[in-house]
Copies of this chain bind each other. A is one copy, B any other.
Amino acid sequence: MKPSSGKALKSAHDILGHVEHPLDPFFKPKNVAMLGATENPGSVGRTTLWNLISSPFGGAVFPVNPKRESVLGIKAYKSVKEIPAEIDLAVIATNSKLIPGLVQECGEVGCKAAVVISAGFKEAGPEGIELERQLLANAKAANMRIIGPNCLGIMVPPSGINATFAAGMARTGNVGFLSQSGALCTAVLDWSLAENVGFSAFMSLGSMADVGWGDLIYYLGNDPKTRAILIYMESVGDARSFLSAAREVAYTKPIIVIKAGRTAAGSQAAASHTGSMTGSDDVLDIAFRRSGVLRVTNIADLFYMAEVLAKQPRPKGPRLTILTNAGGPGVLAADSLLLGDGELAEISEQTIAELDKFLPATWSRRNPIDIIGDAGPERYAQTLEVVSKDANTDGMLVILTPQAMTDSTQTAQLLKPLAKQGERPVLASWMGGVDVDAGVHILNQAGIPTFPYPDTAARMFNYMWRYASNLRALYETPAYAQSDADADISKVKVILDRVRAEGRTILTEFESKDVLAAYGVPTLPSRIATTEDQAVDAAESMGYPVVLKLHSLTITHKTDVGGVQLNLKTADAVRAAFQSIRDSVAAKAGLEHFNGVNVQPFAKLDGYEVILGSSIDPQFGPVLLFGMGGQLVEVFKDRSLGLPPLNSTLARRMMERTKIYKALKGVRGRKPVDLAGLEQLLVRFSRLVVEQPWIKEIDINPLLASPERLLALDARIVLHDPATRPPPNR
């Protein structure tokens, strides 16, 4: 239950509300000092002071300005030390060079929180970085928490606090909005005033030098006035703090994120397929999913979803029933639903029979349910009531188009009592403009989110069920992977220790397969031979034909140096191949790179080639990858990501998110591959990744999957370079 940002927090907030939470002064300060208060027209200091005094929060505001006796008619003080009252929140908008000193003074008078609006810190080069370091050191010494620097400030409408330089105060409501962009804050504020959206908190976090996502998600999670948390994110910052807070709070309140930079993911230098296909934005997606956070792709959806999730229950599944008085709009909604992987509910025979009792004979008798253009209010209400009891339905969308006999207002009235349908959400689309305004208002008041276009409504339903499904998945996430008897951890440790002792970071294919085998990943039998005779011995013990592959501690791209000889059927052929590989390596790279050969049976194997890998994300640590393998792996990029550890459910879900899964399940009459075995293989692989923190990257490509067997045909393991990056202590 602790925020994990590494700051010294009182553990007090666990004792619900009895003792003050360290962030309380931001949300309900007793008295506020405004450092940098001025009268210069248009200045941040003036606007912020004005906002503080125009919005009563039950305490007093003390302007601090060493050069003035009063500001905006309020007595000013030369320093916080002169203020004749206990200050618990400081708002600072002044020259950044002065701020570390000012924070220290605040600490000295017992102030516990500061909003630093000013810029000029880490974004401003080396000098600013040093200033920020001082600022944080002084704050820490005084046990103070800081929001900012470089932000618009904070508003808490329920308590009346407006410590921003925005041009207005947000309305009171139930949405907690956190934004990393001050500019976006002002735009959203402006928009919210026009659209009547209210907030329990409206916070611009700036560069998040101290207070970050994790702190505020926990706080708003415990705040009874907050029903949904909306986040505009530019960078995830301390990923662990964000995720652990989100994972906990998401059970009770929706957390909806829009994160910019979806496509601008920085390119990673990657030695493996896995590395090059694991974009950091994709990892973020999977992390959001694993922590129950809903990610939306455009700004409008952020607010739509806050409304929808606040007003309506979460659907149990993806099956929507569409009720309409016109065919076309119903089909448009169905299109949008299906394109977003939602499903059209198959209405039951019983429902059809009940509807037959009162609907005109020409009704569609399937979903979308077209109740015909002359549908009046009663027909709408009756139909919705029947449909909402259909066990095949997870949610309902009611579409109304104004036609000759339509009464959009009265229809809305009759739907009001049906707004809460137990566990099935109801959405509406009242199409048209002025004619339907009154009806839209009634529906919105009744708690039925209403959209001008039915396709938008269907899209929102897709967000809803996906969100609900992520939440359910939260319960399935294993806390830790249990290692089992299969995994020979100590053997792996011996191998890795030896490789590291030799100063290497890349394992040979032989070593890589040994590591995998220790975790129960089947590999082809393989023997290293350093002489022709050994190679022939190995070949004869495993039976012809065999393959010889270069064994090298340094070279990993074996084909490039003529290091692979296939389909060797006799001892002579093996000898010739041994020589050929040695000579070729000597000529192309130098004999020192030849450490012998790897002898393996040559089997023509049938099956699908998949890839299984892991790599390190700079923010989230190890990430797993599964997908179509083989030589076209980077062309098709048919892969899904996962975060270790996996249990069998999560492993199966990872597989299901790929296209190749369709083939693995058996397609066009072919037998399915050993899916249960593959699932377990993924689980064991995820353990390997968790339990062996020296491992940086693994590529198993291809991993051959057939009905009879699973077999790692090639593998490659790379370790962390201890010189540049010690592995995290997991």
Contacts and interface: CB of A to CB of B under 8 A. Distances in A.
A328 B264 CA distance: 12
Given A184-B401, A190-B433, A434-B194, A328 B263 contact: no
A187 B405 contact: no
A191 interface: yes
Contact of A183 (B182, B234, B262, B329): B329
Interface string A156-196: 00000000010100000000000011111011111111110
A213 interface: no
A250 to B, nearest CB: 23
Interface stretch (A286-294, A489-497, A632-640): A632-640
A682 interface: no
A608 to B, nearest CB: 8
A263 B342 CA distance: 12
A432 interface: yes
B263 A192 contact: no
B193 A433 contact: yes
Interface stretch (A7-15, A613-621, A642-650, A659-667): A659-667
Nearest to A665: B635
Interface in A305-330: 325-329
A260 B332 contact: yes
A453 interface: yes
- State the number of copies, please: 2
A332 B298 contact: yes
A346 to B, nearest CB: 14
Contacts of A232: 328
A402 interface: yes
A373 to B, nearest CB: 6
Nearest to A637: B659
Contact of A329 (B167, B187, B405, B667): B187
Nearest to A43: B404
A331 interface: yes
Nearest to A258: B332
Contacts of A47: 404
Nearest to A325: B183
Nearest to A192: B433
B404 A328 contact: no
Contact of A432 (B190, B262, B338): B190
A175 to B, nearest CB: 16
A19 interface: no
Q: State the 6 A-B residue pairs at the shortest beta-carbon distance, nearest first.
A: A194-B433, A183-B326, A190-B432, A181-B328, A187-B431, A260-B331
Interface of A: 42, 44, 47, 165, 167, 180-184, 186-195, 232, 234, 258, 260-264, 297-300, 325-329, 331-332, 334-336, 338-339, 373, 401-405, 431-436, 452-453, 455-456, 628, 632, 634-636, 638, 659-660, 662-663, 667-668
